[in-house]
Amino acid sequence: MKYIVALDQGTTSSRAVVFDSQARIVASHNIEFPQIYPHPGWVEHRPQDILDSQISSLKLAVEKAGIDPADIAAIGITNQRETTLLWDRATGKPLCNAIVWQCRRTAPLVERLKQDGLGNVLRDHTGLVPDAYFSGTKLQWMLDSIPGSRERAARGQLCFGTVDCFLAWNLTAEHAHVTDATNAARTMLYNIFEQRWDDTLLRAMDIPEALLPRVVDSSAVVGMLDKRILGREIPVAALAGDQHAALFGQGCFAPGMVKNTYGTGCFVLMNTGNSPVHSTHNLITTIGWRVDGKPSYALEGSVFVGGAVVQWLRDEIKLISAAAETEAVATSVPDNNGVFFVPAFTGLGAPHWDMYSRGTIVGLTRGANRAHIVRAALESIVYQSSDVIAAMENDAGMRTAMLRVDGGASANNFLMQFQADILGADVLRPRVIETTAMGAAMLAGRAVGVWSDADLKNLQAIDREFHPAMDERAREKLLRKWHRAVERSRAWAEEEE
């Protein structure tokens, strides 16, 4: 029997998942690593923490599975997107900490691009909206801030990469400097329609092309795993941003199919097929995946703080001791008692795109208690996702009758039922909710011939369906109050910038 290993490098942890040839999980291992907050709105990771935790999780997952590395057919990599790294091409040593996708430090650089009239260029060339979320201005900031780095980059002495690229460089014996089309599409530097790095945007951000990686398919062998890691060379056969991998892992192969991943953030993607859909509702046009040189496009809306609000409840204000408690706490009260929580810790994503929003809790009364705040936090994940889906329906001109869900928080039954109620649509949870890892495994298995395209359509099974049970008036009342709460969170940090 052949096995596929998916490396799922996330914002707060690195995971390795071993799948068998029937796409069943054999074993997995997860390692958390520290988050760094040097200043308000800034978020960083130590590159070595990313690498060490991913290698350790790989070794421990294979050990748990009790398999011979010789039986691993391929390794697929999926990753937190937009997080930006810069390292020395000769030594592999990073020049600074990774700037995480959540970081807002480059908001002034984004404003400058818009003032220079490049907002429409960005949308027309990359499908993105101008925002500090994406990698381009993060790289620009690094080159501006590290003395001599821009000159060294122009001489080809430095490498830029998103996390997939950093891992491919460090894990392959060849030090492959590659990224796939899905990750390139998130940099604000890649023309997704012409499939190339964009000269206009590189000039605008003063980024030398010499430090950029080669863009490859999402399903393709990019190098061989350094044999010092598992004692054997193994094909590294897939790279894909986490949300794109989840779209693939959910089997959303047909235009119009929609999924939402409930992770640190929430990410809704709709497959739009071979034709990109240009959003008029502040969504992103992106590449779903690229195989055999052909891109499939998607509409995407990103919620910056999804499951991260639960981590905040646990780690910062100690209202819970574990994420698993939230379902019981939330259902211990009949409703939110008028409490609404807008977790805009790092601004608001789609469809609002307000870099200056900040976290806000409204509706507090003397009767509000711990359970109401926990429930409001969970409900905020649903409201934010529903705002994105409503915008997506308007862009695509179709109603979402069914939402496929995945990610750790999708195991919360209260959350999924509330999502069905607020959306007014069925919610389908697959048996394997680690669909990000599953998508990476499917892409890797496809590249080495473990599965054909026909096989891929039959790998995912449904665990449970949630059907809407809330009446329309109650739904509309809750959404109206939610949108009032959102308005009160907006533009809070603008003067500080």
* Predicted confidence (pLDDT) per residue in 131-142, tens digit: 898 999 999 999
The answer, yes or no, to whether residue 116 has pLDDT greater than 80, is: yes
According to the model, what pLDDT value does residue 235 have? 97
pLDDT digits (tens, 9 = 90+) for 228-268: 999 999 999 999 999 999 999 998 898 888 999 898 889 89
The answer, yes or no, to whether residue 1 has pLDDT greater than 80, is: no
User: Which of 429, 316, 326 minimizes the C-alpha distance to 377?
Assistant: 326
Pick the residue with more confidence: 146 or 275? 146
Query: What integer is the mean pLDDT of 479-495?
Result: 91
Query: What integer is the mean pLDDT of 11-18?
Result: 94
Query: What integer is the mean pLDDT of 47-69?
Result: 97
Query: What integer is the mean pLDDT of 98-125?
Result: 93
The answer, yes or no, to whether residue 338 has pLDDT greater than 90, is: yes
According to the model, what pLDDT value does residue 442 have? 96
DSSP string covering 133-160, please?
A: TSHHHHHHHHHHHSTTHHHHHHTT-EEE
Buried b (16+ CB within 10 A) or exposed e, 288-300: bbbbeeebbbbbb
**Which range, of 18-22, 75-79, 406-410, 418-422, averages the lowest pLDDT?**
406-410
The answer, yes or no, to whether residue 373 has pLDDT greater than 60, is: yes
| Residue 474: band (very low, low, confident or very high) from pLDDT cuts 50, 70, 90 | very high
Looking at the chain, the whole-number percentage of residues with pLDDT higher than 70 is: 99
The answer, yes or no, to whether residue 480 has pLDDT greater than 60, is: yes
Torsion angles phi and psi, residue 59, rounded to 5: -60, -45
The answer, yes or no, to whether residue 497 has pLDDT greater than 80, is: no
The answer, yes or no, to whether residue 496 has pLDDT greater than 60, is: no
DSSP string covering 408-451, please?
A: GGGG-HHHHHHHHHHHTSEEEEES---HHHHHHHHHHHHHTTSS
On average, the pLDDT of the chain sits at: 94
The answer, yes or no, to whether residue 464 has pLDDT greater than 70, is: yes
In this structure, are residues 179 and 165 in contact, taking their beta carbons and an 8 Å threshold? yes
pLDDT digits (tens, 9 = 90+) for 269-320: 999 888 888 888 889 899 999 999 999 999 998 898 999 999 999 999 999 9
User: Which of 68, 142, 63 minimizes the C-alpha distance to 99?
Assistant: 142
| Residue 495: band (very low, low, confident or very high) from pLDDT cuts 50, 70, 90 | low
The SS3 of residue 105 is coil
- Token pair for residue 143? 């080159």
According to the model, what pLDDT value does residue 35 have? 93
